[in-house]
Protein backbone atom coordinates (compact mmCIF):
# COMPACT_ATOMS: atom_id res chain seq x y z
CA UNK A 1 0.00 0.00 0.00
CA UNK A 2 1.30 3.50 -0.79
CA UNK A 3 2.48 5.73 2.01
CA UNK A 4 -0.14 8.37 2.83
CA UNK A 5 2.69 10.88 3.20
CA UNK A 6 2.36 11.34 -0.57
CA UNK A 7 -0.73 13.43 0.22
CA UNK A 8 1.68 16.22 1.15
CA UNK A 9 2.09 16.93 -2.57
CA UNK A 10 -1.29 18.61 -2.40
CA UNK A 11 -2.59 17.69 -5.87
CA UNK A 12 -5.73 15.51 -5.96
CA UNK A 13 -7.33 13.75 -8.90
CA UNK A 14 -11.07 13.33 -8.32
CA UNK A 15 -13.26 10.96 -10.35
CA UNK A 16 -17.01 11.36 -10.69
CA UNK A 17 -20.13 13.41 -10.83
CA UNK A 18 -20.51 17.14 -11.33
CA UNK A 19 -23.90 18.72 -11.91
CA UNK A 20 -26.24 21.61 -11.32
CA UNK A 21 -28.14 22.05 -8.06
CA UNK A 22 -31.33 24.10 -7.98
CA UNK A 23 -32.24 25.32 -4.49
CA UNK A 24 -35.79 26.37 -3.67
CA UNK A 25 -35.56 29.99 -2.57
CA UNK A 26 -35.84 31.48 0.01
CA UNK A 27 -34.43 28.85 2.41
CA UNK A 28 -37.17 26.81 4.02
CA UNK A 29 -39.33 26.77 0.89
CA UNK A 30 -40.65 23.41 -0.34
CA UNK A 31 -39.79 22.66 -3.95
CA UNK A 32 -43.38 22.17 -5.03
CA UNK A 33 -44.26 25.57 -3.59
CA UNK A 34 -41.26 27.46 -4.94
CA UNK A 35 -41.61 30.29 -7.44
CA UNK A 36 -37.87 30.75 -7.81
CA UNK A 37 -34.66 28.74 -7.45
CA UNK A 38 -30.99 29.59 -7.08
CA UNK A 39 -28.26 27.65 -8.87
CA UNK A 40 -25.05 26.10 -7.59
CA UNK A 41 -22.43 23.62 -8.65
CA UNK A 42 -23.30 20.19 -7.29
CA UNK A 43 -22.37 16.53 -7.47
CA UNK A 44 -20.42 14.70 -4.78
CA UNK A 45 -17.10 14.62 -6.64
CA UNK A 46 -17.29 18.27 -7.66
CA UNK A 47 -18.15 19.21 -4.07
CA UNK A 48 -15.14 17.30 -2.74
CA UNK A 49 -12.91 19.07 -5.27
CA UNK A 50 -14.26 22.45 -4.13
CA UNK A 51 -13.63 21.56 -0.49
CA UNK A 52 -10.04 20.61 -1.31
CA UNK A 53 -9.34 23.80 -3.26
CA UNK A 54 -10.83 26.02 -0.57
CA UNK A 55 -8.52 24.38 1.94
CA UNK A 56 -5.44 25.19 -0.13
CA UNK A 57 -5.06 21.99 -2.17
CA UNK A 58 -5.16 21.58 -5.94
CA UNK A 59 -7.86 19.43 -7.51
CA UNK A 60 -8.51 18.12 -11.00
CA UNK A 61 -11.79 16.48 -11.97
CA UNK A 62 -12.25 13.54 -14.35
CA UNK A 63 -15.83 13.22 -15.59
CA UNK A 64 -18.15 13.94 -18.51
CA UNK A 65 -20.76 16.68 -18.98
CA UNK A 66 -23.34 17.14 -21.69
CA UNK A 67 -23.07 19.57 -24.59
CA UNK A 68 -25.84 21.87 -23.43
CA UNK A 69 -26.54 24.79 -21.12
CA UNK A 70 -26.30 22.71 -17.94
CA UNK A 71 -23.01 21.19 -19.00
CA UNK A 72 -21.65 24.64 -19.79
CA UNK A 73 -22.86 25.87 -16.39
CA UNK A 74 -20.80 23.14 -14.74
CA UNK A 75 -17.70 23.98 -16.76
CA UNK A 76 -18.01 27.67 -15.88
CA UNK A 77 -18.45 26.85 -12.20
CA UNK A 78 -15.40 24.58 -12.16
CA UNK A 79 -13.38 27.45 -13.58
CA UNK A 80 -14.73 29.87 -10.96
CA UNK A 81 -13.78 27.53 -8.14
CA UNK A 82 -10.30 26.97 -9.56
CA UNK A 83 -10.76 23.27 -10.33
CA UNK A 84 -8.66 21.87 -13.16
CA UNK A 85 -11.09 20.57 -15.82
CA UNK A 86 -8.68 19.51 -18.54
CA UNK A 87 -9.95 15.93 -18.06
CA UNK A 88 -13.65 16.82 -18.23
CA UNK A 89 -14.99 15.56 -21.56
CA UNK A 90 -18.06 17.02 -23.25
CA UNK A 91 -20.39 14.32 -24.58
CA UNK A 92 -22.01 14.78 -27.99
CA UNK A 93 -24.97 12.43 -27.65
CA UNK A 94 -28.20 12.18 -25.65
CA UNK A 95 -26.54 11.89 -22.24
CA UNK A 96 -27.35 14.66 -19.77
CA UNK A 97 -25.54 16.35 -16.90
CA UNK A 98 -27.09 15.57 -13.53
CA UNK A 99 -29.67 18.03 -12.22
CA UNK A 100 -30.81 18.14 -8.59
CA UNK A 101 -33.74 20.01 -7.02
CA UNK A 102 -32.85 20.54 -3.39
CA UNK A 103 -34.56 22.10 -0.38
CA UNK A 104 -32.81 24.12 2.30
CA UNK A 105 -34.80 22.58 5.14
CA UNK A 106 -34.40 19.74 7.63
CA UNK A 107 -38.00 18.68 8.26
CA UNK A 108 -39.41 16.58 5.39
CA UNK A 109 -36.36 17.46 3.31
CA UNK A 110 -36.66 16.62 -0.39
CA UNK A 111 -33.77 16.19 -2.82
CA UNK A 112 -34.87 15.08 -6.27
CA UNK A 113 -31.98 14.09 -8.55
CA UNK A 114 -32.42 13.62 -12.30
CA UNK A 115 -29.84 11.13 -13.60
CA UNK A 116 -31.48 9.52 -16.62
CA UNK A 117 -28.71 8.69 -19.10
CA UNK A 118 -26.28 10.55 -16.84
CA UNK A 119 -23.33 12.08 -18.67
CA UNK A 120 -20.85 11.22 -15.90
CA UNK A 121 -21.52 7.51 -16.46
CA UNK A 122 -20.06 7.98 -19.97
CA UNK A 123 -16.54 8.35 -18.52
CA UNK A 124 -14.46 5.85 -20.49
CA UNK A 125 -11.22 3.93 -20.26
CA UNK A 126 -9.79 6.34 -22.83
CA UNK A 127 -10.67 9.26 -20.54
CA UNK A 128 -8.75 7.85 -17.58
CA UNK A 129 -5.83 6.60 -19.68
CA UNK A 130 -5.23 10.17 -20.85
CA UNK A 131 -4.25 11.23 -17.31
CA UNK A 132 -0.65 11.59 -16.10
CA UNK A 133 -1.08 9.97 -12.69
CA UNK A 134 2.48 10.71 -11.63
CA UNK A 135 1.52 14.40 -11.49
CA UNK A 136 -0.92 13.81 -8.60
CA UNK A 137 -0.73 13.04 -4.91
CA UNK A 138 -3.82 10.84 -4.58
CA UNK A 139 -6.82 9.53 -6.51
CA UNK A 140 -10.21 10.22 -4.93
CA UNK A 141 -13.37 8.45 -6.12
CA UNK A 142 -16.96 8.41 -4.93
CA UNK A 143 -18.90 5.16 -5.13
CA UNK A 144 -21.30 6.61 -7.68
CA UNK A 145 -18.70 6.11 -10.43
CA UNK A 146 -19.07 2.34 -10.03
CA UNK A 147 -22.81 2.24 -10.57
CA UNK A 148 -22.87 1.88 -14.37
CA UNK A 149 -20.73 1.19 -17.41
CA UNK A 150 -18.54 2.45 -18.96
CA UNK A 151 -17.76 4.50 -15.85
CA UNK A 152 -17.30 1.37 -13.72
CA UNK A 153 -14.69 -0.16 -16.00
CA UNK A 154 -12.97 3.20 -16.40
CA UNK A 155 -12.72 3.56 -12.64
CA UNK A 156 -11.18 0.12 -12.23
CA UNK A 157 -8.65 1.04 -14.92
CA UNK A 158 -7.94 4.37 -13.17
CA UNK A 159 -7.34 2.50 -9.91
CA UNK A 160 -4.81 0.25 -11.66
CA UNK A 161 -2.99 3.18 -13.26
CA UNK A 162 -2.97 5.21 -10.05
CA UNK A 163 -1.67 2.25 -8.07
CA UNK A 164 1.10 1.71 -10.62
CA UNK A 165 2.08 5.37 -10.16
CA UNK A 166 2.20 4.94 -6.37
CA UNK A 167 -0.87 7.06 -5.59
CA UNK A 168 -2.98 6.38 -2.50
CA UNK A 169 -6.56 5.47 -3.45
CA UNK A 170 -9.38 7.18 -1.55
CA UNK A 171 -12.98 5.95 -1.71
CA UNK A 172 -16.06 7.72 -0.41
CA UNK A 173 -18.63 4.89 -0.41
CA UNK A 174 -21.48 7.26 -1.33
CA UNK A 175 -24.02 4.46 -1.89
CA UNK A 176 -27.12 5.70 -3.71
CA UNK A 177 -29.43 2.75 -4.44
CA UNK A 178 -31.31 4.52 -7.25
CA UNK A 179 -28.13 4.56 -9.38
CA UNK A 180 -27.60 0.80 -9.30
CA UNK A 181 -29.26 -2.03 -11.25
CA UNK A 182 -29.49 -4.08 -8.04
CA UNK A 183 -28.20 -4.25 -4.47
CA UNK A 184 -26.31 -7.43 -5.33
CA UNK A 185 -24.34 -5.74 -8.11
CA UNK A 186 -23.62 -2.77 -5.84
CA UNK A 187 -22.38 -4.99 -3.02
CA UNK A 188 -20.07 -6.91 -5.34
CA UNK A 189 -18.60 -3.77 -6.90
CA UNK A 190 -18.12 -1.97 -3.60
CA UNK A 191 -16.46 -4.97 -2.00
CA UNK A 192 -13.93 -5.22 -4.81
CA UNK A 193 -13.25 -1.48 -4.91
CA UNK A 194 -12.89 -1.06 -1.15
CA UNK A 195 -10.37 -3.91 -1.01
CA UNK A 196 -8.12 -1.91 -3.38
CA UNK A 197 -8.28 1.39 -1.49
CA UNK A 198 -6.03 2.90 1.16
CA UNK A 199 -8.60 5.32 2.62
CA UNK A 200 -12.29 4.41 2.86
CA UNK A 201 -14.93 6.76 4.30
CA UNK A 202 -18.61 6.02 4.77
CA UNK A 203 -21.49 6.11 7.20
CA UNK A 204 -22.84 3.32 9.35
CA UNK A 205 -25.61 2.50 6.86
CA UNK A 206 -23.11 2.20 4.00
CA UNK A 207 -20.74 -0.02 5.95
CA UNK A 208 -23.73 -2.09 7.05
CA UNK A 209 -24.57 -2.53 3.40
CA UNK A 210 -21.02 -3.69 2.69
CA UNK A 211 -21.31 -6.16 5.55
CA UNK A 212 -24.64 -7.51 4.29
CA UNK A 213 -26.05 -6.85 7.77
CA UNK A 214 -26.90 -3.39 9.21
CA UNK A 215 -25.68 -4.53 12.63
CA UNK A 216 -22.20 -5.46 11.36
CA UNK A 217 -21.03 -2.28 9.67
CA UNK A 218 -18.22 -1.65 12.12
CA UNK A 219 -17.06 -5.23 11.65
CA UNK A 220 -16.83 -4.54 7.92
CA UNK A 221 -14.78 -1.39 8.57
CA UNK A 222 -12.41 -3.33 10.80
CA UNK A 223 -11.98 -6.05 8.19
CA UNK A 224 -10.88 -3.45 5.64
CA UNK A 225 -8.07 -2.38 7.97
CA UNK A 226 -7.12 -6.00 8.56
CA UNK A 227 -6.99 -6.47 4.78
CA UNK A 228 -4.56 -3.59 4.34
CA UNK A 229 -6.41 -0.25 4.35
CA UNK A 230 -4.41 2.53 5.98
CA UNK A 231 -7.37 4.56 7.17
CA UNK A 232 -11.09 3.81 7.50
CA UNK A 233 -13.61 6.28 8.91
CA UNK A 234 -16.96 4.98 10.10
CA UNK A 235 -19.37 7.90 10.45
CA UNK A 236 -22.37 7.67 12.76
CA UNK A 237 -24.23 10.93 12.24
CA UNK A 238 -25.00 12.65 15.53
CA UNK A 239 -22.96 9.98 17.35
CA UNK A 240 -19.75 11.15 15.70
CA UNK A 241 -17.24 8.89 14.00
CA UNK A 242 -14.86 6.02 14.65
CA UNK A 243 -11.47 6.26 12.96
CA UNK A 244 -9.66 2.98 12.34
CA UNK A 245 -6.03 2.44 11.37
CA UNK A 246 -3.59 -0.48 11.67
CA UNK A 247 -2.32 1.20 14.86
CA UNK A 248 -5.71 1.34 16.58
CA UNK A 249 -9.07 3.12 16.80
CA UNK A 250 -10.42 6.33 18.28
CA UNK A 251 -13.84 7.96 18.47
CA UNK A 252 -14.68 11.62 17.92
CA UNK A 253 -17.82 13.67 18.45
CA UNK A 254 -19.54 16.29 16.31
CA UNK A 255 -19.72 20.09 16.34
CA UNK A 256 -23.37 21.03 16.98
CA UNK A 257 -24.74 23.79 14.76
CA UNK A 258 -28.14 25.08 13.71
CA UNK A 259 -28.49 22.96 10.58
CA UNK A 260 -30.45 24.30 7.61
CA UNK A 261 -30.25 21.12 5.53
CA UNK A 262 -28.74 17.62 5.66
CA UNK A 263 -26.75 17.72 2.39
CA UNK A 264 -23.07 18.36 1.69
CA UNK A 265 -21.67 17.24 5.03
CA UNK A 266 -19.93 14.12 3.77
CA UNK A 267 -18.28 15.87 0.84
CA UNK A 268 -16.98 18.63 3.08
CA UNK A 269 -15.77 16.12 5.66
CA UNK A 270 -13.67 14.19 3.16
CA UNK A 271 -12.24 17.21 1.35
CA UNK A 272 -11.20 18.94 4.57
CA UNK A 273 -9.88 15.72 6.09
CA UNK A 274 -7.61 15.12 3.10
CA UNK A 275 -6.47 18.74 3.07
CA UNK A 276 -5.52 18.51 6.74
CA UNK A 277 -3.56 15.30 6.14
CA UNK A 278 -1.92 17.05 3.19
CA UNK A 279 -0.63 19.68 5.61
CA UNK A 280 0.79 16.99 7.90
CA UNK A 281 -1.65 17.55 10.76
CA UNK A 282 -2.15 14.68 13.23
CA UNK A 283 -4.93 12.28 12.24
CA UNK A 284 -7.11 13.13 15.24
CA UNK A 285 -6.94 16.83 14.39
CA UNK A 286 -7.62 16.11 10.72
CA UNK A 287 -10.78 14.17 11.58
CA UNK A 288 -12.00 16.99 13.80
CA UNK A 289 -11.39 19.52 11.03
CA UNK A 290 -13.45 17.37 8.70
CA UNK A 291 -16.22 17.14 11.29
CA UNK A 292 -16.18 20.89 11.86
CA UNK A 293 -16.38 21.57 8.13
CA UNK A 294 -19.36 19.23 7.85
CA UNK A 295 -21.11 21.15 10.62
CA UNK A 296 -20.46 24.43 8.83
CA UNK A 297 -21.82 23.20 5.50
CA UNK A 298 -25.15 21.93 6.85
CA UNK A 299 -25.69 25.35 8.43
CA UNK A 300 -25.23 27.15 5.07
CA UNK A 301 -27.18 27.31 1.83
CA UNK A 302 -25.83 25.12 -0.97
CA UNK A 303 -23.10 22.51 -1.01
CA UNK A 304 -20.20 23.69 -3.19
CA UNK A 305 -20.69 27.38 -2.23
CA UNK A 306 -20.99 26.37 1.44
CA UNK A 307 -17.53 24.77 1.62
CA UNK A 308 -15.38 26.77 4.07
CA UNK A 309 -11.96 28.08 3.25
CA UNK A 310 -9.10 27.50 5.67
CA UNK A 311 -9.50 30.83 7.48
CA UNK A 312 -13.23 30.25 7.99
CA UNK A 313 -12.62 26.76 9.32
CA UNK A 314 -9.88 27.98 11.65
CA UNK A 315 -12.20 30.69 12.99
CA UNK A 316 -15.02 28.21 13.52
CA UNK A 317 -12.74 25.88 15.49
CA UNK A 318 -11.37 28.77 17.56
CA UNK A 319 -14.81 30.09 18.51
CA UNK A 320 -16.96 26.95 18.73
CA UNK A 321 -17.37 25.41 22.21
CA UNK A 322 -15.96 22.18 20.83
CA UNK A 323 -17.13 18.76 19.74
CA UNK A 324 -19.49 16.58 21.70
CA UNK A 325 -18.00 13.76 23.73
CA UNK A 326 -17.38 10.73 21.52
CA UNK A 327 -19.54 7.73 22.24
CA UNK A 328 -17.79 5.31 24.51
CA UNK A 329 -19.86 2.34 23.40
CA UNK A 330 -18.44 2.19 19.89
CA UNK A 331 -19.00 -1.56 19.82
CA UNK A 332 -22.74 -0.86 19.95
CA UNK A 333 -22.38 -0.37 16.21
CA UNK A 334 -21.07 -3.88 15.79
CA UNK A 335 -22.97 -7.06 16.51
CA UNK A 336 -21.61 -9.26 19.31
Q: Give mean pLDDT in consecutive 10-residue pieces for the chain, a chain of 336 residues.
A: 88 98 97 97 98 98 98 98 98 96 96 95 98 98 97 98 98 93 94 96 96 95 97 96 97 97 97 98 98 98 97 98 78 44
Phi/psi of residue 23, nearest 5 degrees = -105, 125
Residues 254 and 179: their CA atoms lie apart, in Å, by 30
- pTM (2 decimals)? 0.96
Query: What pLDDT, on a 0 to 100 scale, did the predictor assign at position 327?
Result: 72
- The separation between the first and the last C-alpha atoms of the chain, rounded to the nearest angstrom, is 30
Give the strand order in the sheet containing 231-235: 84-91, 58-66, 11-15, 138-142, 169-172, 199-203, 231-235, 241-245, 248-252
CB 301 within 8 A of CB 263: no
Instruction: Give a three-class secondary structure readout of the chain.
Output: CCCHHHHHHCEEEEECCCEEEEEECCCCCCHHHCCCEEEEEECHHHHHHHHHHHCCCEEEEEEEEECCHHHHHHHHHHHHHCCEEEEEEEECCCCECEEEEECCCCCCCCEEEECCCEHHHHCCHHHHHCCCHHHCCEEEEEHHHHCCCCHHHHHHHHHHHHHHCCCCEEEECCCCHHHCCCHHHHHHHHHHHHHHCCEEEEEHHHHHHHHCCHHHHHHHHHHHHHCCCCEEEEECHHHCEEEEECCEEEEECCCCCCCCCCCCHHHHHHHHHHHHHHCCCCHHHHHHHHHHHHHHHHCCCCCHHHCCCHHHHHHHHHHCCCCCCCCCCHHHHCCC
Is the distance from CB of 139 to CB of 133 less than 8 angstroms? yes
Q: For position 326, what pLDDT does the model report?
A: 86
- pLDDT of amino acid 275: 98
Burial group, residue 126, by CB count within 10 angstroms (0-12, 13-18, 19+): exposed
Domain 4-17+43-92+117-326 belongs in CATH node 3.40.1190.20? yes
Count of Cβ atoms closer than 10 Å to residue 191 Cβ: 14
**What's the pLDDT score for residue 1?**
58
Report the pLDDT value the prediction gives residue 52, as an integer from 0 to 100: 98
Amino acid sequence: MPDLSRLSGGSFLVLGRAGMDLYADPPGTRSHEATRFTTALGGSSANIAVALVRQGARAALVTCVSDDAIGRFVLDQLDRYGIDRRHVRITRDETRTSLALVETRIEDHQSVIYRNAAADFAMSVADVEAVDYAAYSALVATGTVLAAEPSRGATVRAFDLARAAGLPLVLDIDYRPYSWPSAAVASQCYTRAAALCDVIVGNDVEFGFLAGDPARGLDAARRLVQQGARLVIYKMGEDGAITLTPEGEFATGIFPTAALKPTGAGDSFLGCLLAALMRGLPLHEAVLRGSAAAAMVVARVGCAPAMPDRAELDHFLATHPGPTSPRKDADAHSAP
